[in-house]
Amino acid sequence: MSKSLIYVRTYLVRFIIIVGLLSALASWYLVSPQVDTVFNELSIWNMMISTFTLFVGLLTVVSRYVTNITRRGAFWPYQIYALIIIIVWIIMGVTVGIYSDIYQTAFLSTKITLHIAILGQLIFFMVSGAYRVFRMRNLRTALFAICAASVATLNSPWLLGVFPEADKISFWLLNNPAMAGQRALVISGAIGGLFLGFRLLFGLEKGALRVTEA
Amino acid sequence: MKVPELKSQYIWVFIFLLYLVPIFFPVGAPFQMSEITVEIYKYIDKLPPGSIVVIGGSSVFAFDLESSAALIPAIRQMARRGLRVVTAPFSVEAAQFERYAIDAARVDEKYGGPWKYGRDYVLLPYMPGADAAMVSFLTDVRSAVKTDVYGTPLDQLPLMKDFRNYKDIALWVCPHWAFPMVVRYATAERGIPSVYFAQAAAYASYTPYMMMYPGKVWMTNGFLGGAQYEKLEGMRGLGHAAIDTYTLVSAAYLIFIILGNIRMIASLREEEGGS
């Protein structure tokens, strides 16, 4: 790898990360139209880059699929199907618009229905998993099973019908022990993220930003 | 007594049958009304006619479908009360979802309802930029979006002449997973009351917001909340349909946990007997 490329990867990327992070933090802590403008402008840049990467992704997928289809590699019929679907949706979106009646109907009838069906299948695996996993072999597994069973039970209409106070118990559990656990996760995640950021920026995290390839 | 280990396939078939039961024999499972759902209903009922309600946020359509159980009767209530609605999608599928909910509520004139597009409700297109887009939308609507989903300039829509910035919003209704951004930018920073028709899983995570902002943030709980709202609005929809299945499957979930433990105890005894 050339030295100039290493230099760009090492320092320019860090500089961009620092500017992006500082502008986001400054817009959060400072009430300043100028700071907000800078952050909004950077967000727009970020959005445009994300949009560009969408095209890169599309081209990469098409390139890989076409190569595999011509070689009759694994799953090539599915890849033909995927390519046809991609092309049809792009043509429809560009010609009739994504807010047209026909697009809305097509979207609801295909992607959304299938996605909902996939989510609906989860209950089969959840019940089957509950049967196998929530076996109280010791204190830890007992707590695990009791927590899962209480979430399901306290939300169930058959219990709330005969024991309305279950709603209040559920509310208390969510607002206290559950919230404490969630906050612990979020706070520790944020602190971890902060230190990881520092380590990345100071080059202490080996392998990050390809610095160690030098 | 020998307790057999159940194969997953048997459990799946059993759950499938539970799904089918309410379709052919509606159980009409009773459910308890929530005080919070009643509060939301009364709050919307008391809003002066002509108030602007924003329905917006961001997430994925399929995840948000659970919210539609409460959102659809709420839209009917808003139409009945003469409120006006502007949608504010901050993700691609949020735009489709919000439109779907308004269509499903059958409140437009073309369905015999009281609402006329442009006068009583406006569908805005996807506004990219997540948090930045929402702040921009609240500060100045026209800085975030110039036209509606049909390409009509906002100033040509009668409703949008009365809607310039966050000061014109009476209530923010969020039917999407990304509720924290609504609480943060609309409620915490600008004092706009917000209602979240939460998915059951999201409800478990976000209920603390109701403690943090009492009288400003309200949430319904999944399909159960939807069924409660439908009951208040005097209709039977997705919420009622889901509650029957939910009642049976939640009971089955508990029964299978118990069965799993019985099986474990039986196998331990078998091992003890064999050794």
Predicted local confidence at residue B31, as pLDDT: 83
Predicted local confidence at residue A209, as pLDDT: 54
Closest residue in chain B to residue A124, using alpha carbons only: B12
Establish if B10 touches chain A: CB-CB under 8 angstroms: no
Establish if B265 touches chain A: CB-CB under 8 angstroms: no
C-beta atoms of A127 and B249 within 8 A: yes
pTM: 0.81
Correct CATH for B35-236 of 3.50.70, 1.20.1250, 1.10.20, 3.40.50: 3.40.50
Q: Give how far B204 is from chain A: nearest CA, Å.
A: 6
Q: CB–CB of B262/A131 below 8 Å?
A: no
Q: How far, in whole angstroms, is CA B156 from its chain's centroid?
A: 31
Q: Give how far A13 is from chain B: nearest CA, Å.
A: 22
Closest residue in chain B to residue A183, using alpha carbons only: B205
C-beta atoms of B208 and A179 within 8 A: yes
C-beta atoms of B256 and A131 within 8 A: yes
Enumerate the residues of chain A whose CB falls inside 8 A of the CB of residue B150. 99
pLDDT bucket at A208, cuts 50 / 70 / 90: low
- CA separation for the pair B231, B227 (Å, rounded): 6
Establish if B150 touches chain A: CB-CB under 8 angstroms: yes
Lookup: tokens for A160: 């709330």
Q: CB–CB of B195/B209 below 8 Å?
A: no
Predicted local confidence at residue A214, as pLDDT: 46
Enumerate the residues of chain A whose CB falls inside 8 A of the CB of residue B243. 157
C-alpha distance from residue A65 to each of A55, A57, A161 (Å): 15, 12, 54
Average pLDDT over residues A137-156: 88
C-beta atoms of A128 and B249 within 8 A: no
Write out the DSSP string of A125-192: HHHHHHHHH---SSHHHHHHHHHHHHHHHHT-HHHHHH-TTHHHHHHHHIIIIIHHHHHHHHHHHHHH
Establish if A108 touches chain B: CB-CB under 8 angstroms: yes
C-beta atoms of B62 and A112 within 8 A: yes
Establish if B255 touches chain A: CB-CB under 8 angstroms: no
pLDDT, one tens digit per residue, over A23-59 is: 888 877 777 888 878 887 887 788 788 888 888 999 9
In terms of Cβ atoms closer than 10 Å to its own Cβ (0-12, 13-18, 19+), residue B96 is buried
Predicted local confidence at residue A68, as pLDDT: 96
Per-residue pLDDT of chain B in tens (275 residues, 90 and over written 9) = 678 889 999 999 999 998 888 888 877 788 888 899 999 999 999 999 999 999 999 988 888 899 999 999 999 999 999 999 999 999 989 999 999 999 999 999 999 999 999 999 999 999 987 888 898 899 999 988 999 999 999 999 999 999 999 999 999 999 999 899 999 999 999 999 999 999 988 887 888 899 889 999 999 999 989 999 999 999 988 898 888 888 888 899 999 999 999 999 998 888 887 66
- CA separation for the pair B130, B140 (Å, rounded): 15
- CA separation for the pair A19, A176 (Å, rounded): 38
Residue boundaries of the structural domains of chain B: 35-236
Establish if B253 touches chain A: CB-CB under 8 angstroms: yes
Lookup: tokens for A182: 């969630």
Predicted local confidence at residue A131, as pLDDT: 93
Mutate to test the interface with B, among A38, A48, A49, A124 (most CBs of B within 10 A): A124
Establish if A142 touches chain B: CB-CB under 8 angstroms: no
Strand, helix or coil for residue B215? coil
Predicted local confidence at residue A198, as pLDDT: 81
Closest residue in chain A to residue B184, using alpha carbons only: A28
Predicted local confidence at residue B136, as pLDDT: 86
C-alpha distance from residue A69 to each of A58, A74, A77, A85, A160 (Å): 16, 9, 8, 15, 56
Establish if B275 touches chain A: CB-CB under 8 angstroms: no
A208 Cβ contact list (under 8 Å, min separation 6): A199, A200
Q: CB–CB of A127/B250 below 8 Å?
A: no
